[in-house]
Amino acid sequence: MAKKPFACGECGLILQDGVDQCPRNPSAQTTTDWQGYVIIIHPSRSEIAERLNIDQPGHYALKVNIR
């Protein structure tokens, strides 16, 4: 079974394997407790990116649970 990657609690960015600190929000908490998955290619043309307040391309979690 593959290990679930970390996601940023601030922006929802799903981090690369072995990375546990968000490059966009270094002080934000990260966790493997997240749900949903969306890939944003063109944020300026994406209604989903607009609703999620995403302004950079990338892989994002839809819900991140920080305790």
DSSP sequence for 23-64: SS-TTS-EES-EE--EEES-GGG-HHHHHTT--S-EEE-SEE
Q: Any idea where the domains of the chain sit in the sequence? A: 7-64
At 36-52, the pLDDT tens digits run 999 999 999 999 999 99
Question: Does pTM surpass 0.85?
Answer: yes
20-47: b or e for each residue (b if 16 or more CB lie within 10 Å)? Answer: eebeeeeeeebbeebeeebebeebeeee
Inform me whether the pLDDT recorded for 32 exceeds 90.
yes
CATH fold of 7-64 reads Rubrerythrin, domain 2 (2.20.28)
pLDDT-based confidence at residue 1 (cuts at 50, 70, 90): low
Look at residue 25 in the predicted model and tell me its pLDDT.
Answer: 95
